[in-house]
Amino acid sequence: MSQSATADDQWLTQWRALWQRLGVAEMDAEYFVLRSAYDESSRHYHTFEHIAACLNWLQRAYQDQVLQRDDGLELAIWYHDAIYKPMRSDNEAASARWWRDTATRHGLSESLIARVERWILATQHAVQESVPDALWLLDIDLAILGSRPEVYAQFERNVRAEYRWVPSLIFRQKRAALLQDFLDRPRLYLTDYFHRQLDQQARQNLRQAIAELCG
C-alpha cells in the first residue's frame, strides 16, 4: 500500500470516528464528496493538504493537553474551505451553507450546527475578536504563516497560482497590503499556545514576503 493510500485511510478513519461520536453512521459518501471539492484543479493552497495540516495541529494541541477534545472544532476544520473559488467573495458563507445543509440532513443539534457555522464564517479573519470562542480555529488556520521559511515560500507560490488570473502588479499590491494587515496586528495568534510557538517566525515570514512583493 502506498504512503498516499495509507494517509487517505487515516483521514477516512478519523472522519468516521468523528461522525460516530455524533451518532451518525454511513458518512463515507459525504467524505468523498468533500475530498473531491478539496481536490479541484483550481486549488493550489486551499487543498486537502491544508485541511490535513490543520487536523494535525489540532491533534498536537490535544496531545499537549492545552485543549480538550471538541468535535465542533474538528468539524469546522473539515468544512471551513469546502467551497473555494478565487473569483468569489463569499467562500466562507458558501462553505458554512454546505456544513449546515449536511448537518441538518443528518439530524445534528441546532446548537452545534450554529456554533460550527459561526466558526467557519470567522475564518474570513476580518476581525479576530468578533468570535471569541473561535480563537483556536483561527490560529490553526493561520499556522502556515509561522512555518519554516521554505514552507512559507511555497505557500505564497500556491496562493499566487490560485490567483494567476490577476495581473502581477495588482496582485502584488493587494497581497502586500493583506500581509501588512496581519503584520500590524498586536498579536497574530490569539491563543498563547500558538503565539509562543509561531509568532516570531510568522512575522519574519511576513516581512520577507512583503519585501519581495514590493521589490
Calculate the alpha carbon distances from 79 to 35, 117, 188 in Å.
10, 9, 23
pLDDT digits 0-9 by tens, 75-123: 999 999 999 999 988 999 999 999 999 999 999 999 999 999 999 999 9
pLDDT digits 0-9 by tens, 100-110: 999 999 999 99
pLDDT digits 0-9 by tens, 136-160: 999 999 999 999 999 999 999 999 9
Nearest Cα residue to 12 out of 69, 68, 78: 78
Q: Rounded distance, CA 32 to CA 55, Å?
A: 17
DSSP class of residue 108 equals: -
pLDDT digits 0-9 by tens, 17-59: 999 999 999 999 999 999 999 999 999 999 999 999 999 999 9
Which of 2 and 209 is assigned the larger pLDDT? Answer: 209
